[in-house]
Amino acid sequence: ITYKVRLKNGDYGGRFVYSISDNIETKNVYLQETGYEQAISSMMYESLWNIDPNNWKPIPGIAYAWETETTTASGDIQDGEKYTFHLYDNATWHDGTDVTSEDVENSVYLWQKSHLSPGEISKYVYKMETPDDKTFVMYVNSTGYFLWNDVTSVTITPKSVYGDGQTVNLTTITLPDKEDMIASGPYMWNEHVESEYVQLLRYED
């Protein structure tokens, strides 16, 4: 979901009300299945890159730049492509801690387990690397823009909340408290009253 909302007078403040017609069923982004939940999470969570609503081209998200290289089979490297993403140094979670390449890698592991994610994530992604806290590398055994789009556009979540993506059971994760609803996007979770509203607040940083 892409929102085009502009300030009328250039000052921060005010309230933006967006209506949904049913309760949200889960706060776990890896299990949400309705547009209602996605409408809320899309304002809280980020991906490596976003879409410019004016021209539909990729623009920075958590990553400010990225490169694609063709790979040739050698050792544990397969024929396909290598994607390298460079994360913003000042990207933080809503609790003030840094967003790291390990969080990104862990999120991909979690999406490989989610029944909601594109099949390409499990089928084509065979290796990931985190050479430093702000560099994330992904290897795929095929090529093409649509593959790049599917495997790199996933929502990024904090490892500190969701646990080790390689071992955790997604269906047993519960996120009942405001303190657990940590994201990195422009709005942060504040309050939820079932059948009435979800309230998000602007993240000052």
Per residue in 42-100, pLDDT tens? 999 999 999 888 898 999 999 999 999 999 999 999 999 999 999 999 999 999 999 99
**AA identity, residue 67:** E
Please report the pLDDT score of residue 175 as a whole number. Answer: 82
Please report the pLDDT score of residue 8 as a whole number. Answer: 63
More confident residue, 16 or 133: 133
- CB burial of residue 76 (10 Å; 0-12, 13-18, 19+): exposed
Contact 198, 192 (CB under 8 A): yes
- Distances from the Cα of 104 to the Cα of 7, 17, 49, 119, 151, angstroms: 32, 31, 12, 18, 12
Instruction: List, in sequence order, every residue forming a beta bridge with 125; answer none if it has no partner.
Output: 140
Instruction: Please write the tens of the pLDDT for every residue from 173-190.
Output: 878 778 889 999 999 999
- Distances from the Cα of 27 to the Cα of 35, 153, 191, angstroms: 13, 20, 12
> What's the CA gap between 200 and 58, in Å, rounded?
26
Contact 184, 45 (CB under 8 A): yes
Mean pLDDT of the chain: 90
User: HSE (CB half, 13 Å, CA atoms) of 136?
Assistant: 26
Q: How confident is the model at residue 35 (pLDDT cuts 50, 70, 90)?
A: confident
Helix (H) or strand (E) holding 152: helix 145-152
Instruction: Please write the tens of the pLDDT for every residue from 84-133.
Output: 999 999 999 999 999 999 999 999 999 999 988 777 898 999 999 999 99
Contact 60, 72 (CB under 8 A): no
Q: Which residues of 114-151 are buried (b: 16+ CB within 10 A; e: fewer)?
A: beebbebbeebbeebebeeebbbbbbbbeeeeebbebb
Q: How confident is the model at residue 1 (pLDDT cuts 50, 70, 90)?
A: very low
